[in-house]
Structure 1
Amino acid sequence: MCIMRASRLLSLLLLLQTRGRLTAPELAAELEVSVRTVYRDVEALSAAGVPVYADRGPAGGYQLLDGYRTRLNGLTAEEASSLFLAGLPGPAADLGLAEVAANAELKLLAALPPEPRSHASRMRERFLLDVPGWYRSSDDVPHLSEVSEAVWDGRPLHMTYRRWGKQEVDRVIHPYGLVLKGGSWYLVAAPPDGGPRTYRVARILTLETLPGRFTRPEGFDLGGFWHSYAKEFRERMYTAEAVIKLAPGRGDLLAYTMGSDVVGAALAAAGEPDPEGWLTLTVPVESITHARWLLLRMGADVEVLGPAELRTLMSEAIAELGKLYH
């Protein structure tokens, strides 16, 4: 019980430190406790010497004395920032934070009581996050460190960028944030007179940090933008549909071939199997030609019913294979 309260007191202190003035109901909602408990915890912090005080009235609330900051065993600002990447040694190294991340981890472990320290050590020994997918390496991102500095400092960038099809373009951009997805780094940025877009950092050929600073759009939410972008990207990616018959027990293989999300939704929408156990499915595909390449990998476990163009392409490919292996 004492450990739980100590953790809650620290959370309350950090909330006040990071967000400024908060009311008792707001703190209670964040900490998932009663308002009465918040009153007791604030009194405990005050008794421990933390300069927290209350403003009365409709616009009142609790806040810390101006200038007060709690410190965690000598952590520097860079080390504290790297904590978000403590479990990602590869990305931390990409951003130039490998050493400070290691130092931060050591300082955190030293600051913990014996039991939590032992638990943290076991977690580090037993769990590892490996970001890139199988059979692919991470992107080569020589400009990532400079990009991350510009994101942090709010500085505009001038870059030469290689678009799809190897077309090179010049862009002046305001960098809003970086996203690591599937082992690849993406920059969310906007031209000075436009809305945010995404750029793959590995496709930046040349980069120059420009003088001055830009004003970040008020209320811009990197996580919210990326979630919407990823959803729209998936919707744009699937431009056609294939109607197939799937052999009994081959749903896992189809999911491995075409993606678990796509196949899972198709299986959920499918009707009853035929007397031989074959299922008729409608699955979204990027294109008819791409679908042919994917479905050929399924061999005789899939029959294409439509569209006619895809069935013809499958038939032609199978005929060519027959000539090759005749």
Structure 2
Amino acid sequence: MRADRLVATLLFLQSRGRVTAAEVAEELEISVATARRDLEALSTAGIPVYPQPGRGGGWSLVGGARTDLSGLTSTEAQALFLLVGPAAAVAPEAKAALRKLVAALPRTFREDAAAAASAVVIDSARWGDPVTPRPELVARLQNAVVRRLRVRFSYASKGKPAQRRVVDPWGLVDKDDSWYLIAGTERGRRTFRVDRISGAEVTDEPASRPAEFDLDAAWREVVARVEDGQRACTAVVRVPARLVSVLRRQFGQHCVVVEERDGVATVRVSAPAPVMVAQHLAGWGAGLEVVESDAVRAELARIGRELAGLYG
């Protein structure tokens, strides 16, 4: 788990003062390339870790060797916990490590570090949308979550004009490179797609966050609602097994292989409505066959008649 490695790398640096990527690789039993990437990740995140080129160089922790985390500043502690926090949701060992690390921090830093550790959830399962670059706004929103400050922005819901909102930011979720903000509003908890947010301003107003709020649990509820809607229509199709990967790119996790035999796969695909399933499948022509779902077959027949009428 990368979170474990990042923490182990930092502690190794604190005990040695200066190390090479090769020494980190040997200590943690990883490749030199992986060790170098982890050192660069710590440095990029704002941890005071810097490379020293040349003979006798390596990577140094500014301030000299230390045996605990009390030498980190508040900003550096937040940066570390933003890096390792997301893994704690899926790795009990990382969660236990985070609790110990929080306890090792100066008392005045503990609240911000704990907030940083729970500010982001990573969910790698796709919903079928194309991958988008990480918005620059994410770092600003992370800062607002950690500092518990309200955010003002314009938000354009799908098919609706943008409206100005003021929210209490509770956490961020990375859904396969698509980012979502979960926040408190005057109408209760809401989920916002970050790529639909514009003109965001972090205010000086303190944000309210329920003491019992759990970002990971809240996101599971969001996923359950979305999944229920996206599975409203299911069809079973037969397709050459070599093309299953293409079908998966169309339907994301709503494409499940039921059986594969003699180079032919039986696949279950889902979408919110029959027409949406048919629209994805129509471009395959006779390359696949829908064997279950009369509604999807009817939509495909309709699309076929329309195309034949238009193009003869």
The residue type equivalent to 2:192 in the other structure is Y
Other-structure match for 2:182: 188
Structure 2 counterpart SS, 1:179: strand
Aligned to 1:298: 284
SS in 2 for 1:196: strand
- Separation of aligned partners in 1, 2:237 and 2:144: 52
Structure 1's 282 and 207: CA in aligned 2 closer, same or farther, altered over 3 A?
closer
Paired residues of 2:170 and 2:182 also in contact (CA < 8 A): yes
| Number of residue equivalences | 209
Offset, 1:291? 0.8
Per the alignment, residue 83 of structure 1 pairs with 80
Q: Give, in angstroms, the shift of residue 219 of structure 1.
A: 1.7
1:205–1:310: structure 2 CA closer, same or farther, 3 Å change rule?
same
Residue in structure 1 matched with residue 154 of structure 2 by the alignment: 160
Q: What 5-or-longer segments of structure 2 have no aligned partner?
A: 1-7, 12-65, 85-123
Hey, what's the Cα distance between the residues in 1 that align with 2:274 and 2:282?
Answer: 12
CA drift of 1:163 comes to 0.9
> Is residue 2:210 matched to residue 1:217?
yes
Amino acid at match of 1:252: V
Answer 1 or 2: which has greater strand percent: 2
Distance 1:181 1:138 in 2: 12
Structure 1 residue 174 displacement after superposition: 0.8
Q: Secondary structure at the match of 2:166?
A: strand
Which residue in 2 is equivalent to 1:200? 193
Query: Retained in 2: the 8 A contact 1:188–1:197?
Result: yes
RMSD: 4.0
Cα deviation, residue 76, structure 1: 2.7
Contact kept? 1:267, 1:281, Cα under 8 Å: yes
CA distance in 1, matches of 2:178, 2:221: 18
Q: Is the 8 A contact 2:169 2:207 kept in 1?
A: no
Decide which structure has the larger Cα Rg and report it: 1
Distance across 1 between alignment mates of 2:193 and 2:271: 23
Q: Tell me: CA distance 1:306–1:195, structure 2 relative to 1, closer, same or farther (3 Å).
A: same
**Cα gap change, 1:279 to 1:178, in 2 (>3 Å):** closer
Matched, 1:138 2:120: no
Alignment partners' CA distance in 2, 1:321 and 1:196: 45
Tell me the equivalent position of 2:254: 262
Q: Secondary structure at the match of 2:300?
A: helix
- Structure-1 separation of matches of 2:247 and 2:196: 30
Q: Give the distance between the partners of 1:253 and 1:163, measured in 2 at CA.
A: 31
- Displacement of 1:310: 2.7
> How many percent identity over aligned positions?
29
Cα distance change of structure 1 residues 233 and 260 upon mapping to structure 2, 3 Å threshold: closer
Deviation at 1:260, TM superposition (A): 6.1
Query: Within the alignment, does 1:246 sit opposite 2:232 as a pair?
Result: no
- Report 1:1-326 matches (<5 A): 71-72=68-69, 74-84=71-81, 136-141=131-136, 143-192=137-186, 194-242=187-235, 244-247=236-239, 249=241, 252-253=244-245, 255-259=247-251, 261-264=253-256, 267=258, 283-305=269-291, 307-319=293-305
C-alpha distance in 1 between matches for 2:274 and 2:161: 25
Please tell me whether the aligned partners of residues 237 and 291 of structure 2 are also in contact (alpha carbons under 8 angstroms).
yes
Higher-RCO chain (CA-CA 8 Å, sequence separation at least 6): 2
Aligned-partner residue type, residue 77 of structure 2: A
The 3 A distance-change label for structure 1 pair 289 and 139 is farther
